[in-house]
Amino acid sequence: MFCKHCGAELPDGARFCTNCGKDLNAAEPVRPYMQYGGMDTRPSTYLALSIIVTFLCCTPLGIVGIVYAAQVDSAWNAGRYDEARLYSKRARNWSWWGIGIAAIWWILYLILVLAGVAASWWTFDEFFV
């Protein structure tokens, strides 16, 4: 048996949670999004995207994305649905910022390399005169 408030594991038949102290038999407040069409689907964690960003391009932003992605499931299982959505959104945003910064970095690098190649071709004749 698990607490519907904090997600802690409890012995069967427990009335109060030993972790958060809340009454397990109390009625859960109705959330606005649950009134229309039932429980929403679990948000994406974006963990794979965060790991790819960490290894391939922008490590600091990818690590922040991994931290937020790791918190999505635990918040959802504890019944903190709005918090889980917030963590999902933050993981996605940090990962996309990492991809954007890495793309800008590689574009600037390519421009500088091409400028160096062009400069070497323009001055190539001076070495053989």
Contacts of 24 (CB under 8 A, 6+ apart): 3, 4, 10, 14, 15, 16, 17
**With pLDDT > 90 as the criterion, what percentage of the chain qualifies?**
47
78-93 residue pLDDT tens: 888 889 999 999 999 9
**Contact 18/11 with Cβ under 8 angstroms?**
no
Secondary structure letter of residue 21 according to DSSP: -
101-116 residue pLDDT tens: 999 999 999 999 999 9
- C-alpha 62/C-alpha 9 separation (Å) is 31
